Amino acid sequence: MENNRIDKIGNYEMLAEPFHVDFNGELTLGVLGNHLLNCASFHSADRGFGIASLNEEDYTWVLSRLAIEILEMPKEYEKFTIQTWVENVYKLFTDRNFVILNQNGKEVGYARSIWAMINMKDRKPANLLELHGDEIENYILNKSCPIDKPSRIKVEATNPTEILTAKYCDIDINGHVNSIRYIEHILDLFPKSLYESKRIKRFEMAYVAESYYGDQLFFYQNEIEDNHYNIEIKKDNQDTVCRSKVIFK
Amino acid sequence: MENNRIDKIGNYEMLAEPFHVDFNGELTLGVLGNHLLNCASFHSADRGFGIASLNEEDYTWVLSRLAIEILEMPKEYEKFTIQTWVENVYKLFTDRNFVILNQNGKEVGYARSIWAMINMKDRKPANLLELHGDEIENYILNKSCPIDKPSRIKVEATNPTEILTAKYCDIDINGHVNSIRYIEHILDLFPKSLYESKRIKRFEMAYVAESYYGDQLFFYQNEIEDNHYNIEIKKDNQDTVCRSKVIFK
């Protein structure tokens, strides 16, 4: 099989839909996250590593980390392009990067993601190199992504700033609260006044455990320094579900 | 200008994305609503009546009613097509219909919508026939839609079943709670157990007034008969924002 650079990079054209922009007329970060994960899904499916083909073998992809940096968010009705590629494959994880291009082809955002493959029967991580090493390695592209890797996120707050119950629209086909809904609930922690004067520069998610319909989600939030917030979501006020870092500029 | 049937019907291809399906693996009604409104927007923009061209003249479209009936919801990763056309133009309203086709071209859903055009300066309704009658009439297609028109919705409940505060992700570019978010909040009123055994057969929205960031939304709900719910949302427990009818099967 010939593997050229073009084939290794997935290229997906998007439009900032009217109900997907915020009051500033700019794409919301939750919707951008949805687009990124879709592109990951299309890109891997086109290359034979999609959820559907893995499921036949009882495996699935699980998103572990996501970091997004935005220079300029697409505005309502603007077209933009997401490119994605696999940068590395390790035993238990794979690194997938993204670049967001505006309609003039200018790079206006970047993202990094880290995925594990798990066995759906025992939920244990699979050894990527043993299972699919040769084939996935064909798709590795030695193209870096100019943003920092996802970092360690520490939250020390002792009082929750928000408590939500997971509802119908939060739940995905696996019965879990979906990865995008966490992002939206976290964006909703910040007041409109903050979004009036500032923009999100960097956003990170570390997905730690699943939560389910009816779970009470407790949001703990620290302002680490000016414009820099760390957030932790615990289900039923006990187990950590995810952690997030939000940096405004 | 020649106006053939093909040109009068807009035809939009869609895919049921993984984060847009519910725990049954079926497209959520909020996402379908978003697609319908997008198609309305694309269809009118392509014919010179889009929001952008109206805004130049200080006018905009306002969605007044939406009724959706579903025979079979598209499933995860399924392709489907939305067709839309204008059935009638009256002095103050226009009727826009939709049909949803599955990947085999079978009709699996229908929708009706009613729109007003308002002047953005005084928020008063515009006379469609005087302003754009001749041009819009060119696009009228005498093709009916096999579902009932939106009905009158009466809610008599005196205690709210839910109270929510409008947050950042609820707000659209106009500073209003967006039309789709109301649908999602209404879907979230029903327990997962109901969606496990039943499906939404018909869903109606009557958009009455706008609500804004920080408004407290009070949800009143009546079970009119088996599987038939009427819902009213009041802002700050006073003015009606919208009413909805949800019929399960």
Report CB contact under 8 Å: A173, B21: yes
Report CB contact under 8 Å: A168, B19: no
Do B111 and B43 belong together in one domain?
yes
Asked if residue A180 belongs to a domain, the reply is yes
pLDDT at A49 over 90: no
Asked if residue A233 belongs to a domain, the reply is yes
Do B74 and B190 belong together in one domain?
no
Asked if residue B142 belongs to a domain, the reply is no
Domain endpoint, select from A121, A137, A153:
A137
Report CB contact under 8 Å: B52, A173: no
Asked if residue A148 belongs to a domain, the reply is no
Question: Does this model's pTM top 0.90?
Answer: yes
- Counting DSSP H helices and E strands in chain B, the numbers are 6, 10
Three-class DSSP labels, B110-164:
EEEEEEEEEECCCCCECCHHHHHHHHHHCCECCCCCCCCCCCCCCCCCCCCCEEE
Residue A168 sits at the chain B interface (C-beta within 8 Å)? yes
**Which chain A residues touch B178 with a CB distance below 8 Å?**
19
Least confident of A45-49, B118-122, B162-166: A45-49
CA dist., res. A5 & res. B134, Å (int) = 53
Least confident of A88-102, B54-68, B174-188: B54-68
Do B110 and B34 belong together in one domain?
yes
pLDDT tens, position by position, A170-182: 999 999 999 999 9
Q: Which of A41, A179, A184 sits opposite B169 (nearest CB)?
A: A184
Element (H, E) at A43: helix A29-46
pLDDT at B55 over 70: yes
Residue B28 sits at the chain A interface (C-beta within 8 Å)? yes
Do B25 and B131 belong together in one domain?
yes
Q: In terms of residue numbers, what domain contains B226?
A: 162-248
With CA atoms as reference, report the closest residue to B60 among B69, B51, B68, B48.
B51
Asked if residue A199 belongs to a domain, the reply is yes
Report CB contact under 8 Å: B168, A180: no
Strand order in the sheet with B79-89: B10-15, B79-89, B94-101, B107-119, B59-70, B200-207, B239-248, B228-235, B216-225, B162-165
Residue labelled with tokens 């826009």: B96
Domain endpoint, select from A86, A103, A137:
A137
Q: Which of A28, A179, A213 sits opposite B169 (nearest CB)?
A: A28
pLDDT at B45 over 90: no
Residue A46 sits at the chain B interface (C-beta within 8 Å)? no
Q: What is the tally of structural domains in chain A?
A: 2
Residue A172 sits at the chain B interface (C-beta within 8 Å)? yes
Do B105 and B9 belong together in one domain?
yes
As for the ipTM of the complex, it is 0.93
Do B133 and B166 belong together in one domain?
no
Do A167 and A239 belong together in one domain?
yes
Do B37 and B131 belong together in one domain?
yes
Chain A residue with minimum CA distance to B15 = A38
CB pairs under 8 A between A and B: 98
**Which chain B residues touch A21 with a CB distance below 8 Å?**
172-173
Residue labelled with tokens 């009882």: A58
Do B171 and B70 belong together in one domain?
no
Selected residue with higher pLDDT from B131 and A39? A39
CA dist., res. A50 & res. A90, Å (int) = 18
Report CB contact under 8 Å: A179, B19: yes
Do A9 and A95 belong together in one domain?
yes
Do B20 and B91 belong together in one domain?
yes
Task: Mark which residues 183-222 of A lie under 8 Å from B by CB.
Answer: 184, 187-188, 190-192, 195, 213-214
Asked if residue A149 belongs to a domain, the reply is no
Do A192 and A131 belong together in one domain?
no
pLDDT tens, position by position, A89-142: 999 999 999 999 999 999 999 999 999 999 989 989 989 888 876 777 788 998
The pLDDT value given to residue B53: 75
The pLDDT value given to residue A3: 47
Percent of chain B residues past pLDDT 70, beyond the cut: 97
CA dist., res. A19 & res. B113, Å (int) = 17
Q: Which of A23, A51, A174 sits opposite B171 (nearest CB)?
A: A23
Residue B50 sits at the chain A interface (C-beta within 8 Å)? no
Element (H, E) at A84: strand A79-89
Asked if residue B147 belongs to a domain, the reply is no
Report CB contact under 8 Å: A172, B213: no
The pLDDT value given to residue A20: 96
3-state secondary structure of B108: strand
Q: What does the pLDDT average to over B185-196?
A: 98
pLDDT-derived band of residue B1, with 50, 70 and 90 as boundaries? very low
CATH number at residue A243: 3.10.129.10
pLDDT-derived band of residue A2, with 50, 70 and 90 as boundaries? very low
Asked if residue B71 belongs to a domain, the reply is yes
